[in-house]
Amino acid sequence: MARKRHHEEEDAAIDMTPMLDIVFIMLIFFIVTTSFVKEAGIEVDKPEANNTKAEPKANIFIAINDKGEIWMDKRQVDVERVRANVEKMLAEQNTDVVIVQGDKEAKHGLIMKVMDQVKAAGIERITVAAEK
């Protein structure tokens, strides 16, 4: 009646390989499908407006502070480089909306130049952010 013990222990092992394969496939899926928001990188004091709507979903933010500095993707850029930066961001992730966050003390002409550069990059929907 003596039985071999090591044979029973060998059968009790669970193969973890299929479960690990599934976990890695799910991880890759979530990484690929996640959309990353390209924030401007600075906070601006937005002007107040009575008739505001909720911001549409956007992945690209451009901030213009009271000193006339333009910030995209957490770095300062010149107005001439806005178009190239928007085109680069569009290549990384497609979007049809860009939100321009202009400080209430920023010059209107600079905000218009930034919006012109965004339109030249192929974006038709530009939203200007305001406080309610």
Q: Tell me, what's the pLDDT at 120? A: 92
Comparison of pLDDT for 66 and 3, the residue scoring more: 66
The CATH number that applies at residue 84 is 3.30.420.270
pLDDT at residue 119 greater than cutoff 80? yes
Beta-bridge partners for 76: 71
Comparison of pLDDT for 34 and 122, the residue scoring more: 122
Sign of the CA dihedral 71, 75, 76, 82? negative
pLDDT per position as a tens digit, 17-40: 888 999 999 998 888 777 666 666
Angle at which helices 108-120 and 82-92 pack, to 10 degrees? 40
Distance in angstroms (rounded) separating the CA atoms of residues 4 and 25: 39
- Mean predicted lDDT score pLDDT of the chain: 81
Answer whether residue 117 is part of any domain. yes
pLDDT at residue 6 greater than cutoff 90? no
Answer whether residue 48 is part of any domain. no
Answer whether residue 114 is part of any domain. yes
- The CB density around residue 93, as the number of other CB atoms within 10 Å, is 13
- pTM over cut 0.85: no
Q: Tell me, what's the pLDDT at 84? A: 93
Q: Domain containing 93: what range? A: 60-128
Beta-bridge partners for 99: 61, 127
Task: Give the chain's domain count.
Answer: 1
What are the φ/ψ torsions at residue 44 (nearest 5 degrees)? Answer: -120, 155
| Residues sharing a CB contact under 8 Å with residue 98, sequence separation 6 or more, in sequence order | 58, 60, 61, 62, 86, 118, 123, 125, 126, 127
Answer whether residue 29 is part of any domain. no
